[in-house]
Amino acid sequence: MGAITERPKKGGGKAYLAQVKIVRDGKIVHRENRTFERRQAAAAWLEKREAELRAPGGLERAKADDPTLSMVIDQYITDYGGEIGRTKAQVLRAVKATDLGEIPISKVTSADIVAMLRGLDVKPQTRGNYLSHLSAVISAARPAWGHDVDPAVVKDAAIAAKRLKLVVKSQQRQRRPTLDELDALMRHFADRERRRPSMLPMTRVIPFALFSTRRLEEITRIRWADLDVKNSRILVRDMKNPGEKMGNDIWCDLPAPALKFLTSMPKATVKGKETDEIFPYSTDAIGANFTRACLLLGINAPEMPDEDRLHFHDLRHEGTSRLFEMGLNIPHVAAVTGHRSWTSLKRYTHIREAGDKYATWEWLKVADEPYQPRRSGR
């Protein structure tokens, strides 16, 4: 009646899906599942749930059950797990751990959601992410699984949260790396790559992120099959876009330095098998290396406000700013960045044409030599 399936996580590690299924006369009459971080926890829940369903009237009670929000979130992650990003999954797990997660789905009110937001020790901008990701779960609960819940509870909670200033619109980051900071990062990683052949190629990843303006998750999804060298462009799959991600595949132009760094990479192998991914590394590994280096080099400090810290995503902002400084107009920049709406790029229109400060950057020479094949970071 029950089974446990081991599933790899997108950012590395494993999760365990415990599934209960009851079949009568060749038809599935009941099915439920939950996802756990440990196999032992999955096995314990499965044993307990099977015993409950076998008990007299167990199936009838299960059909009449009103699952908690936490259980519905598990169901959402199970059914849509391959389509949600790392941040969204983290936020949903955080919601599960709150008091809100223990409330039956049909009993969740806008007041409960506002109370959950009040209890979060995060910035008002981050609370907006919680609302957005929770809304996706609530919106799917009735049509996908027949749960009795009013999708308007999140909308009403959002209105109240804005009036109470629990949620504010995210401010656009203005942080750009300086050449000195980039030089320090490149020297740091070049030294590490010389001393540790298994080190992932940050001296290729950082310049490619900057010159291509690609997001970290996009970089790790790029495949050789999606590279058009002749026309200097790449097919970016599942590009982030408000209200749409899966299937949002867009051809993006590759500036000359970006193409050079990309083609300097070898065909890589993962666990002895050749992979089509050009950068076969996890987003967690790349992000952690970048964050640690910024702290070690004094670029960032624990006491710094977030707006002063350098994030990997700031390389995209720097790359976009560079294109405007080179004199490109909005349509040409959008062809590189992948922005469908030019409105998002209007924040850069104040930038004056100043040429390409990277034209003589010493680290461009890194791409002159093919990167030596190394063990994958996954």
At 73, which CATH number?
Answer: 1.10.150
User: Looking at residue 183, which CATH number applies to its domain?
Assistant: 1.10.443.10
Domain boundary among 115, 139, 171: 171
* pTM score of the predicted model: 0.64
Domain interval for residue 96? 67-171
How many CA atoms, within 13 angstroms, populate the side-chain half-sphere of residue 27? 2
Q: Kind and range of the H or E element at 277? A: none
Q: Are residues 125 and 85 in the same domain?
A: yes
Q: Are residues 157 and 80 in the same domain?
A: yes
Q: Tell me the C-alpha distance between 46 and 219, whole Å.
A: 38
Q: Are residues 322 and 362 in the same domain?
A: yes
Domain boundary among 17, 40, 65: 65
Domain boundary among 140, 171, 202: 171
Tell me phi and psi for residue 241, to 5 degrees. -160, 135
Q: Are residues 209 and 354 in the same domain?
A: yes
- Give the pLDDT score at 125: 80
Q: Tell me the C-alpha distance between 141 and 10, whole Å.
A: 24
Give residue for tokens 């997660």: 101
Looking at residue 201, the DSSP 8-state letter turns out to be: -
Cα separations in angstroms, 153 against 80, 202, 255: 22, 45, 46
Task: Classify residue 254: in a domain, yes or no.
Answer: yes
Q: Are residues 327 and 271 in the same domain?
A: yes
Question: Residue-wise pLDDT tens for the chain (378 aa)?
Answer: 688 888 776 556 787 888 888 888 877 777 777 777 788 888 888 888 888 788 887 776 666 567 889 888 888 887 776 566 677 888 898 998 898 988 888 889 999 999 999 998 888 888 888 998 999 899 888 888 778 888 889 999 999 999 988 888 766 778 999 999 999 999 999 999 988 877 899 999 999 999 999 999 999 999 999 999 999 999 998 787 644 555 578 999 999 999 999 999 988 777 777 789 999 999 989 999 999 999 999 999 988 888 899 999 999 999 999 999 999 999 999 999 998 877 778 888 778 888 999 999 999 999 988 887 554 444
Q: Are residues 124 and 219 in the same domain?
A: no
Q: Are residues 183 and 316 in the same domain?
A: yes
- Give the pLDDT score at 356: 94
Q: Tell me the C-alpha distance between 240 and 217, whole Å.
A: 9
Q: Are residues 257 and 299 in the same domain?
A: yes
